[in-house]
């Protein structure tokens, strides 16, 4: 169950933040259609990975090997996405997104199947509900965490490094905005 929570946190956080990055911080900014086409590579790879892991690889490799392979693919794909620069080529993201998609497919379905495999009867409905709630909660936590980090880093890089403002500085700025007071306010502020 822990694997499902960690995978949900990382995958859904990146599904949230990568389009936001490509639209707002990428130079030049990409359109929503372009970002959708780029992100589609990960979705297609996830679908193929889910089909392969559910129908073929689950029985041949076993859960442990399949989840390990998927985890390695997720880490490798996420590594490149963790060091993005604003001028990154969108085409260079495609292989990493495909790797992440396969990693998601190889990790998520087998771990959910294994978690619910031994539960039977009326407990199966409760276990499935619990697993879905945990997946949603950890997806939201990952999205909130990454969104907060992205916003703070964007603000830090976009704003010049000013010293902390005191209340005196804020009053000075407010007075500058009043017509005719700029010259007198500047002299008074410099004299203090």
Of the listed ranges 11-15, 137-141, 163-167, the one predicted with least confidence: 163-167
| pLDDT for the residue numbered 172 | 47
CA 90/CA 12 separation, integer angstroms? 20
What is the pLDDT averaged over residues 80-104?
Answer: 88
Q: Which CATH class is domain 2-158?
A: mainly alpha
| pLDDT for the residue numbered 46 | 93
Dump the DSSP string for the chain.
Answer: -HHHHHHHHHHHHHHHHHHHIIIIISSSPPPHHHHHHHHHHHHHHHHHHHHHIIIIIHHHH-HHHHHHHHHHHHHHHHHHHHT--TT--HHHHHHHHHHHHHHHHHHHHHHHHHHHHT--THHHHHHHHHHHHHHHHHHHHHHHHHHHHHHHHHHHHHS--PPPPPHHHHHHHHHHTSTT-HHHHHHHHHH-
| pLDDT for the residue numbered 95 | 94
What is the pLDDT averaged over residues 9-19?
Answer: 86
| pLDDT for the residue numbered 159 | 62
| pLDDT for the residue numbered 38 | 92
CA 176/CA 186 separation, integer angstroms? 8
Residue predicted with more confidence, 181 or 88: 88
pLDDT in tens, 26-72: 778 888 899 999 999 999 999 999 999 888 888 888 889 999 999 99
The domain ranges of the chain are 2-158, 165-192
């Amino acid at each position: 169950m822990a694997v499902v929570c960690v995978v949900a946190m990382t995958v859904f956080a990146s599904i949230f933040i990568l389009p936001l990055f490509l639209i707002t911080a990428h130079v030049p900014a990409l359109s929503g259609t372009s970002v959708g086409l780029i992100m589609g590579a990960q979705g297609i790879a996830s679908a193929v990975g889910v089909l392969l892991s559910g129908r073929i690889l689950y029985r041949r490799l076993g859960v442990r090997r399949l989840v390990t392979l998927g985890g390695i693919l997720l880490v490798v794909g996420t590594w490149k996405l963790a060091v993005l620069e604003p001028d990154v080529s969108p085409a260079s993201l495609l292989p990493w997104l495909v790797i992440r998609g396969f990693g998601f497919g190889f990790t998520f379905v087998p771990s959910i199947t294994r978690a619910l495999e031994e539960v039977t009867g009326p407990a199966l409905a409760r276990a499935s509900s619990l697993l879905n709630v945990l997946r949603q909660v950890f997806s939201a936590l990952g999205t909130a965490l990454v969104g907060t980090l992205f916003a703070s880093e964007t603000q830090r890089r976009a704003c010049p490094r000013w010293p902390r403002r005191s209340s005196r500085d804020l009053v000075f700025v407010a007075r500058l905005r009043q017509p005719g007071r700029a010259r007198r306010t500047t002299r008074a502020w410099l004299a203090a």
